């Protein structure tokens, strides 16, 4: 009986550790989000080549929105979605399939949050594309968001920038930032 209890306690501890690891946001992403004025942030992962939200991503989003609603009124969400590669370096263009995949991921998050969690003001940012000249000139929200993520190190462009174990990698991920009223 004691062995079973120890195994159960060990399993519960490992489950808790893995849940926290899955929901962890690197310090660069947290810093960029705070600099952009977000009150809360989370990061979700997608299966490679897929735009559909998996169950763990849905649970992560539900938890984020629930926490936000408990602390006040949500003003807006910003969703930065990547394809299955990192943010493009300057003068580099993503393939049409990468652009479409990141776009679909952002749209799927937006649709899920609107339909199931009743948050309507959601802006998505396709992280396979760098800000264009017009966005830079007018300092649009797209330019500000992408630049803040890149400058903080939260949008790595090369394998070297993803960290020793790839903990800063954003390929196949999305960052969801919550802004409160």
Counting every residue written for the chain, the total comes to 181
Q: Which helix (H) or strand (E) holds 66?
A: helix 55-71
Q: Is 72 a residue whose pLDDT tops 90?
A: yes
Nearest partner of 31 among 151, 178, 157, judged by Cα: 151
Q: Which tokens in the block code for residue 30?
A: 């947290």
The pLDDT, as a whole number, for residue 140 is 97
57-69 pLDDT, tens digit each: 999 999 999 999 9
Q: What is the average pLDDT value for the chain, to the nearest integer?
A: 87
The pLDDT, as a whole number, for residue 179 is 98
**Residue 157 Cα distances to 1, 85, 141, 149, 160, angstroms:** 52, 9, 21, 11, 8
109-167 pLDDT, tens digit each: 999 999 999 999 999 999 999 999 999 999 999 999 999 999 998 887 877 777 766 77
Query: Which conformational region is residue 73 in: left (phi greater than 0), alpha (psi within -120 to 50 degrees), or beta?
Result: beta
Beta-bridge partner residues of 74: 180
Q: How confident is the model at residue 173 (pLDDT cuts 50, 70, 90)?
A: very high
Given a contact cutoff of 8 angstroms between Cβ atoms, the answer to whether 89 and 157 are in contact is yes
End-to-end CA gap in the chain: 52
Q: Is 9 a residue whose pLDDT tops 70?
A: no
Nearest partner of 42 among 57, 27, 19, 25, judged by Cα: 25
Q: What percent of the chain has pLDDT over 70?
A: 86
Domains, the chain: 25-180 (3.30.1330.60)
Which pTM was predicted? Answer: 0.83
Q: Is 17 a residue whose pLDDT tops 70?
A: no
Helix axis angle, 2-23 relative to 55-71, nearest 10°?
Answer: 80
Q: Is 12 a residue whose pLDDT tops 70?
A: no
Q: How confident is the model at residue 78 (pLDDT cuts 50, 70, 90)?
A: very high
Q: What percent of the chain has pLDDT over 90?
A: 76
Number of H helices, E strands in the chain: 6, 4
């Amino acid at each position: 009986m004691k062995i079973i209890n120890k195994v159960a306690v060990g399993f519960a501890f490992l489950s808790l550790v893995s849940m926290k690891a899955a929901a962890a946001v690197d310090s660069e992403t947290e810093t960029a989000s705070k600099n952009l004025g977000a009150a809360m942030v989370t990061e979700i992962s997608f299966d490679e080549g897929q735009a559909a939200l998996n169950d763990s991503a849905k649970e992560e989003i539900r938890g984020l929105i629930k926490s936000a609603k408990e602390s006040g009124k949500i003003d807006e969400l910003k969703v930065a979605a990547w394809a299955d590669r990192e943010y493009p370096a300057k003068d580099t263009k993503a393939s049409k399939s990468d652009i479409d995949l990141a776009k679909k991921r952002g749209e799927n998050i937006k649709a899920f949050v609107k339909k199931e969690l009743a948050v309507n003001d959601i802006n998505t940012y396709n992280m396979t594309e760098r800000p264009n000249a017009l966005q830079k000139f007018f300092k649009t929200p797209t330019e500000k968001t992408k630049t803040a993520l890149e400058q903080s190190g939260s949008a790595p462009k090369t394998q070297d920038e993803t960290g020793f174990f790839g903990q800063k990698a954003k390929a196949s991920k999305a960052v969801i930032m919550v802004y409160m009223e």
